Amino acid sequence: MSFGELIAQAGRQRRIVRLKLKSKDGQSLPQSVEFEPYSSREFGGKVSFFCLDVERFACLNVDLASVVDVEITERRFKPRFPVAF
């Protein structure tokens, strides 16, 4: 299953995902962040996911190209926004 399919599956199941993301500077090690996934969209040939960062309680659009690894956790979330997968 692709990273995009795993993130969408987690959203449908209302499960938190742990994403390992490339560093913005390209020099640092990838960082691991937990998100509540809500939806995806394609814009300008790029796929991004609308997610809520669980630790910082911040809404983000995560570029699929920046994802290095995906893990669906056992933890569930109660949606704060409509889930559109």
User: 3-class DSSP state for residue 61?
Assistant: strand
pLDDT tens digits, one per residue of 22-41: 987 766 788 899 999 999 99
Residue type, 36: E
Separation between Cα atoms, residue 80 and residue 6, nearest integer Å: 20
pLDDT tens digits, one per residue of 34-61: 999 999 999 889 999 999 999 999 999 9
Task: Identify the pLDDT of residue 26.
Answer: 67
Tokens of 9: 């599956």
pLDDT tens digits, one per residue of 64-73: 999 999 999 9
Domain range annotation of the chain: 3-76
CATH of 3-76, one of 1.10.10, 1.10.3120, 1.20.1300, 2.30.30: 2.30.30
- The percent of residues in the chain predicted with pLDDT above 70, rounded, is 98
Per-residue burial over 6-21, b = 16 or more CB atoms within 10 Å of its CB, e = otherwise: bbbbbbeeebbbbbeb
CA distances from 52 to 13, 31, 45, 60 (A): 15, 16, 23, 6
Backbone phi, psi, residue 9, to 5°: -60, -45
